[in-house]
Amino acid sequence: MLHVGLTGGLASGKTFVGHALRDLGCYLIEADELGHQVLLPGAEAYAAVIHEFGDDILDDDRFIDRHKLGERVFGKPELLAKLSSLVHPPVAKRQERAIAEIAQANPSAIVVVEAAILVETGSYKKFDKLIVVVCTPQQQMERALKRGAYTREEVLARLSRQLPLEEKLRVADYVIDTSGTKENTLEQVQAMYASLRSLSV
C-alpha cells in the first residue's frame, strides 16, 4: 500500500486535487471531514471542547458552530493548541483505523490523506510521498472569499500565519499547480497518478 500526504495553503485547490485522485481510483481520507465528525454531538471531542470553550459555541440545535469556535481560537496560540490537543488525537485514531481497513481490503491501494498542516506538524514524514498543491496568493484570496466563510481581513490573517510556500515545496515529492484551468490541473493529476500507480504495484 502507498501512503500519500496531500497538503497546500488556504484555498489552494487541495480538495479539488484530492477528489480528482479519488475519481482515478485512490482512497481519499479528508482530515477536515474527520475533524467535523469528532465534533458532532456524542462524538469523541464534543463534550471536552464544550467543557473547555463554553456553551456559547453551540448553535440552536446544540451542534458546535465551527465558525464561532474558529473565531474564539484564531490568533490565540494557547487556545488553538488546547483545541488541537482535544481534536487531533481522535482524528488521528479515525485516520489510522480507516487506513488499516483499506490496507486489509486492498493491499496495493493508494491512500491519500488530505490535511492542511502536514508540513507544519512534521507529520508529512509518516508518508511515502507528499503532494503540495500551489497557486498564486491572489487566487487563494479570490477562492477563499468566493466560499463566503471568511472576510478579506480573516483571509489575509490566515495567509500571513501559514508556513512559507518555499518550506513546503522543499519537502514535496510532487507539486500540482492549480493556477491554470481545471483541465490543466487534471492533466497534472493524471500524470502524477500514473507515477503513484507505478510505485504501488
Establish whether domains 1-26+109-201 and 32-106 are of one fold. yes
pLDDT at 192: 98
HEC profile of 132-163: EEECCHHHHHHHHHHHCCCCHHHHHHHHHHCC
Q: What is the pLDDT of residue 201?
A: 66
> Which CATH architecture does the domain made up of 32-106 adopt?
3-Layer(aba) Sandwich (3.40)
Q: Which amino acid is at 101?
A: E
The pTM (predicted TM-score) of the whole model is 0.91
Question: Burial, 164: exposed, middle or buried (Cβ in 10 Å; 0-12, 13-18, 19+)?
Answer: exposed
**Are 45 and 90 contacting, i.e. CB atoms less than 8 angstroms apart?**
yes
Q: What is the CA radius of gyration of the chain?
A: 17
Specify the CATH number of the domain 1-26+109-201. Answer: 3.40.50.300
Number of Cβ atoms within 10 Å of the Cβ of 46: 19
DSSP state of 64: B
Whole-angstrom Cα distance, residue 15 to residue 112? 11
pLDDT digits (tens), the chain, 201 positions: 999 999 998 899 999 999 999 999 999 999 999 999 999 999 999 999 999 999 999 999 999 998 899 888 877 889 989 999 999 999 999 999 999 999 999 999 999 999 988 998 899 999 999 999 999 989 999 998 998 777 888 888 878 777 888 899 999 999 999 999 999 999 999 999 999 999 976
Task: Sketch the domain layout of the chain as residue ranges.
Answer: 1-26+109-201, 32-106
Q: Residue 45: how many CB atoms within 10 A of its CB? A: 22
pLDDT score at 155:
83
